[in-house]
Amino acid sequence: MMMSLMSKLLSLAVITTLTISAGTDADDVKEYVQKHMIKNPQVKVTKVDVISSKTLEEPKGWEVFFLNIEANVKKSPTVYDKVTVPETLFVKDGYTVPTLISLETGEDYKNLLKPELSKEIYDEKHLMAGDKNAKHKIVVFSDPQCPFCQTKVPEIYKAVKANPDKLALYYYHFPLLRIHPVSDIITRAMIVEQNRGNKAKAMEFYKLKINPREVNATKVLGKINKEFGVKITEDDINTEVVSKEVIHDKNMATRSMVSGTPTVYVDGVWDPTRNKYKELIK
């Protein structure tokens, strides 16, 4: 979803490498994005946030910048969509490229790197299991209807519950509504149960078998209430509190440059294998 949007934003962008000032810093990168990177006349960049940057050990001499680009996308003469899109730029000797690929291995560093998480991600409201003072912290961005999530996330949750002194699990909702719109209703129902103090019950909703295209809240909630022994109404899932939490988690995913599920971090570092937590409980 994020990638298709970025493709639209950059559809008229200059493909060749563009020069930016030598001795590049965050301000140089922001100026480059705002003035030169996006050539699509339908898009106006309003703000560029540098989430973080770091120097790569290999290949040497390259620095990677992780960005959130805020823009207004023109849909009609009078209608604009406000969007926030994550982007990665590689910089070396005053030049920047949007991707960096190894000729030897074919690996794209853009797909291998993510920024480290900010400390604010570890707020107690999102602690799903384990002790907040545990030695290691796991952060998961997930969708309860994502097939892989339905296997992996309960597996991680079970491991944390069994090792609360070693592991803490912080959970963020990231429903992929274009793929399975039913996740909006399930996610909201999970938040209701979490706010009631029933975090374990909320995790049970991962077992729900339902048409991923179902958007009838009465049907979905009826099935959840019957199968899991809860009582959640449409009024419950449509409160301002629940809606704000959905938006908050989505914003945190954007700021963390999350674009798919399940995305797992261990001690602030992205874990593409989603299995590093196992090494911490041996």
- Tens digits of residue pLDDT in 207-247: 999 999 999 999 999 999 999 999 999 999 999 999 999 99
Residue 130 has pLDDT above 50, yes or no: yes
Distance CA 43, CA 38 (A): 8
Residue of 189, 92, 198 whose CA lies nearest to 145: 189
Distance CA 161, CA 155 (A): 10
Task: Give me the architecture of the 119-280 domain, per CATH.
Answer: 3-Layer(aba) Sandwich (3.40)
Residue 7 has pLDDT above 70, yes or no: no
Give the CB-side neighbour count of residue 267, counting CA atoms within 13 A.
10
- As a whole number, mean pLDDT of residues 153-176 equals 98
Mean pLDDT lowest for which of 30-34, 120-124, 175-179? 30-34
Distance CA 208, CA 229 (A): 13
Give tens-digit pLDDT for 199-215.
Answer: 999 999 999 999 999 99
User: Whole-model pTM?
Assistant: 0.84
